[in-house]
Amino acid sequence: MATRKEVAELAGVSEATVSRVFNGVGPLKEATRRKVLEAAQRLGYHPNAIAQSFALGRSGNVGVVLPHVPKVHLFSAYYFAEILSGIGEALRENGRDMLVLLRSPDEEPGYAQLFRTRKIDACIVLGARDVPQQLAALRELRQEGMPFCLVNQRYDGERFSVVDADHVQGSYEATKHLVELGYRRIAFMNGSPEYSNSRDRLLGYRRALAEAGLEPPPGGLLEGNYSRTSGLAAAVRVGELRSSGLEAVVCANDRMAIGLVQGLRERGVAAGQDIAVVGYDDSDAARLCDPPLTSVSVPFYEMGRTAALRLLAAAQQSGAQAAEPFAATLPTKLVVRSSAVRRGGM
């Protein structure tokens, strides 16, 4: 398939001029327009319809899909608030609007229909899960050449555009930090394995233990749902595990870690004194927690901004360039506070 660059070379003009011809943006000399169209015809060049409609600003909207969970205030959650802020800022700078779309985990995603009805020109999906219904909807977008990007979720073996963080390294560093402080019996509280970032965090945790010649303690692999409530509920089980020697817990996000700290306190167990607790995300709440929470900083704002900028650029490409997915993995960083101190100093 011919590319815009090849058309430009044959016509003796710039790629920008080729874009202006096909997008109807002037002023242009008639002779120039004719040269471009003749070159395109000779090469069999056909501009990507989605990219062309985006360039024309058919709707001017970039859709951002969020999971709709009853009684959960997503916009107050640090994770979603930061990513949305990054997306919004990038779109504002580029004269685009953000259309927020809520989808229940149990309903048909219907992403492609949003494009067909011209509600959106491109799409960013947050909170995607590795389930057949979700995967089928994303494959449909991919097959029809509709520009979209996933944030903080990937599907191994699929050619989707993804912006993610290095969660394997982040969880590895958190667990290694506890090992270096002298802890040996370290539990891990994760979210659902339907999320690739949950699987990555578990991998990092296991890797750090294996390097130290350790294994997860019996019963030490706990699962929550990334909510404070699930961390609070886990305090009962963690309290039981302490009786068999549990020394520390790594949590896959701050909300679960803070719930765990609060639940343990209700049972007379003090994080940072009787047991070490490490969170993940480095949210504002991690600094306000009592004790302040050691946590892994994730650049959610930058992830949102990167996703929006890369998607805007990809949506305006044509031919093979438009079909090529992009990927970016941003680094994480461990932030040490007082919820985990050197073993023996507790």
The answer to whether residues 120 and 132 touch, using CB atoms and an 8 Å cutoff, is no
Domain count, the chain: 3
| DSSP strand pairing (333-335 vs 295-297) | antiparallel
Does residue 343 sit within a domain?
Answer: no
Q: What DSSP string describes 129-163?
A: -SSHHHHHHHHHHHHTT--EEEES---TT----EE
Q: What is the CATH number of the domain that holds 208?
A: 3.40.50.2300
**Strand 276-278's sheet: what is its strand order?**
221-223, 186-190, 248-251, 276-278
The pLDDT score that the predictor gives to residue 109 is: 81
Torsion sign across C-alpha atoms 63, 66, 67, 72 = negative
Q: Within this chain, do residues 183 and 291 fall inside the same structural domain, yes or no? A: yes
C-beta neighbour count of 53 within 10 angstroms: 17
223-254 per-position pLDDT tens digit: 999 999 999 999 999 999 999 999 999 999 99
Residue 258 has pLDDT above 80, yes or no: yes
83-134 per-position pLDDT tens digit: 999 999 999 998 889 999 888 877 778 888 888 888 888 999 999 999 999 9
Does residue 52 sit within a domain?
Answer: no
The CB-based long-range contact list for 211-214 (8 Å cut-off, 24+ gap) reads: 211/176, 212/176, 212/179, 214/179, 214/184, 214/186
148-195 per-position pLDDT tens digit: 999 999 999 999 999 999 999 999 999 999 999 999 999 999 999 999
Does residue 325 sit within a domain?
Answer: yes
Q: How confident is the model at residue 322 (pLDDT cuts 50, 70, 90)?
A: low
Q: Within this chain, do residues 173 and 288 fall inside the same structural domain, yes or no? A: yes
Structural domain boundaries, residue 230: 167-298
Choose between 267 and 6: higher pLDDT: 267
Q: Within this chain, do residues 160 and 177 fall inside the same structural domain, yes or no? A: no
Q: Within this chain, do residues 294 and 194 fall inside the same structural domain, yes or no? A: yes
Residue 72 has pLDDT above 70, yes or no: no
- The pLDDT of 308-313, averaged and rounded, is 92
Does residue 345 sit within a domain?
Answer: no
Residue 321 has pLDDT above 60, yes or no: no
Q: Within this chain, do residues 226 and 253 fall inside the same structural domain, yes or no? A: yes
- The pLDDT of 46-50, averaged and rounded, is 58
